[in-house]
Amino acid sequence: MICCRHAVKISSKLGRFLQIFDPNLQTGEHFNEYFCNRYMSVKDRYKEIRMRSVDLCAPLETEDFVPQLAIHTSPTKWHLAHTTWFFEQMILKEYVRDYQECNKDYNFLFNSYYNIVGDRALRVERGSSRPTVSDVYKYREHVDLAMEAFLSGSVSEEVKELVVLGLNHEQQHQELLITDLKFTFSKNSTFPVYLKNGSKVSSRNNSSGWVKTEEGVYEIGSKGDKFYFDNELNMHKVYLADFEISKALVTNGEFIEFIDAGGYSDFNLWLDEGWSWVNENNVNAPLYWHKIDNVWHYYTLGGLMPVEKDAILSHVNFYEASAFAFWKKMRLPTEFEWEIASDQFEWGERWEWTNSAYLPYPGFKIAAGAVGEYNGKFMINQMVLRGSSIATAEGHSRKTYRNFFHPHYRWQYSGIRLVK
């Protein structure tokens, strides 16, 4: 087996060789995803992704797995268990005869929001001390052994698709594990280091200027020819007026100018809900920023450090993004503008706020069963983010991907791209 994280290193030579047999192969940045999806077995892909979750936890101490300091975050231990629960509940219990559950209580403890599956623990109670971290690792081992045995046999295409959904689900939780852990560590006055030199907020823009797109009718969404979430499906046409979108994301230095100009104290710049949020929470800077001896610092997974002015801004919410854009006499892109222009600029360092509400595409239908609860029921009071972030799992990004969060959340690696 060639490991996915190393596959991209051989993309140039092996890619050209494989193109002889498969002319549809794209070398370069898309090769890794293509190779994993086409040339790795589902079983090998399962082992690869499941191991990455364990690898992410390698720098942690036992005590780091348990705390839950906000209702919108989950403990590391819970992420490890919930992703395991998905495979046990959705696949092993459904398709493996005489499968023995690891622990009957785990369905209640590690269900997230699947009402059809049954009752579940309150979200705020995910930080319970039991089961132990050791118990959770034993749970993963129990399910992994059963899944690997199952995937070694004959498996229908329908079930394979469900496994792939579960793997993409785990990749989502790998990113949440990182962002939730950062939020938890940030509440500790000692500013713990997760990884030395692992700040994840030091990346710079590699280009500048603007991409101009002419008015016209464009196609949006996925054709469904490879894995996509259901909220991306059903290509449809949209009309776009002329617009120009920045090739660069907003930097920390640019946002400091907004702060110094009184951006957080000028109600004229803010949406009404955003202005209420600023005042109710006494906000004067992005999340994780601290002014020490009149110098801005931020907490990172590599510890506390001075804010790098040339680095790309991170950890702002929709309200802050909107206010900054208004201050610059510009605006945020719609998700459709972003998708159409995305091939002409670099993306992937930050989730990028758009000015689009999270709504269904034409023809969207909620699937039957538990998987139907994955996306559709959240299509209210949330805004769409496009792209991916420095914390997104490798191979888990594409230009049609529709991430979504409530406008006040900013613990993800989220940033700003402007339109004029």
Of the candidates 400, 396, 314, the residue with the CA atom closest to the CA atom of residue 349: 314
CA separation for the pair 96, 146 (Å, rounded): 9
Q: Where are the alpha helices (DSSP H) in 313-357?
A: 318-327, 335-341
pLDDT digits (tens, 9 = 90+) for 325-349: 999 999 999 999 999 999 999 999 9
Q: Which of 148, 171, 186 is the last residue of a domain?
A: 186
Answer yes or no: is 119 within a domain.
yes
* Cβ pair 320, 254 in contact under 8 A: no
CA separation for the pair 103, 277 (Å, rounded): 42
Answer yes or no: is 3 within a domain.
no
Answer yes or no: is 19 within a domain.
no
CA separation for the pair 155, 58 (Å, rounded): 32
- Degrees to nearest 5, angle at CA 105 with 103 and 106: 70
- The mean pLDDT of 362-368, rounded to a whole number, is 83
- The mean pLDDT of 353-373, rounded to a whole number, is 83
What's the half-sphere exposure (Cβ side, CA atoms, 13 Å) at 217? 3
Answer yes or no: is 192 within a domain.
no
Q: Six-digit token pair at 228?
A: 């996509």
CA separation for the pair 80, 136 (Å, rounded): 7
**164, pLDDT greater than 80:** yes
- The mean pLDDT of 249-278, rounded to a whole number, is 98
Judgement on whether residues 341 and 382 belong to the same structural domain of the protein: yes
Answer yes or no: is 203 within a domain.
no
Helices 11-19/31-39 angle, 10° precision: 60
What is the extent of the structural domain holding 158? Answer: 41-186
* Cβ pair 363, 110 in contact under 8 A: no
Structurally, the chain folds into a number of domains equal to 2
pLDDT digits (tens, 9 = 90+) for 36-86: 555 579 999 999 999 999 999 999 999 999 999 999 999 999 999 999 999
CA separation for the pair 96, 343 (Å, rounded): 43
- The mean pLDDT of 252-273, rounded to a whole number, is 98
* Confidence label for 27 from pLDDT (cuts 50, 70 and 90): very low
pLDDT digits (tens, 9 = 90+) for 99-150: 999 999 999 898 876 665 667 777 888 888 899 999 999 999 999 999 999 9
Judgement on whether residues 141 and 246 belong to the same structural domain of the protein: no
CA separation for the pair 250, 253 (Å, rounded): 8
Name the strands in the sheet holding 403-405, side by side, starting at the edge strand that comes first in the sequence. 403-405, 383-387, 351-357, 414-415
- Out of 15-19, 38-42, 293-297, pick the least confident: 15-19
Judgement on whether residues 277 and 330 belong to the same structural domain of the protein: yes
* Cβ pair 67, 181 in contact under 8 A: no
**23, pLDDT greater than 80:** no
Judgement on whether residues 228 and 164 belong to the same structural domain of the protein: no
Answer yes or no: is 140 within a domain.
yes
Confidence at residue 322, expressed as pLDDT on a 0 to 100 scale:
98
pLDDT digits (tens, 9 = 90+) for 214-235: 999 999 999 877 889 999 999 9
**6, pLDDT greater than 90:** no
Answer yes or no: is 23 within a domain.
no
Judgement on whether residues 45 and 173 belong to the same structural domain of the protein: yes
Q: What is the CATH number of the domain that holds 289?
A: 3.90.1580.10
Amino acid at 45: R
* Confidence label for 31 from pLDDT (cuts 50, 70 and 90): very low
* Confidence label for 374 from pLDDT (cuts 50, 70 and 90): low
**159, pLDDT greater than 60:** yes
CA separation for the pair 165, 73 (Å, rounded): 22
CB atoms closer than 10 angstroms to residue 374: 17
**2, pLDDT greater than 70:** no
Judgement on whether residues 306 and 367 belong to the same structural domain of the protein: yes
pTM, two decimal places: 0.89
Answer yes or no: is 31 within a domain.
no
- Out of 122-131, 177-186, 258-267, pick the least confident: 122-131
Higher pLDDT, 386 or 363: 386
Confidence at residue 378, expressed as pLDDT on a 0 to 100 scale:
84
* Cβ pair 247, 210 in contact under 8 A: yes
- Degrees to nearest 5, angle at CA 118 with 140 and 129: 45
The mean pLDDT value of the chain amounts to: 89
Q: Six-digit token pair at 95?
A: 């398709």
* Confidence label for 12 from pLDDT (cuts 50, 70 and 90): very low
* Cβ pair 99, 92 in contact under 8 A: yes
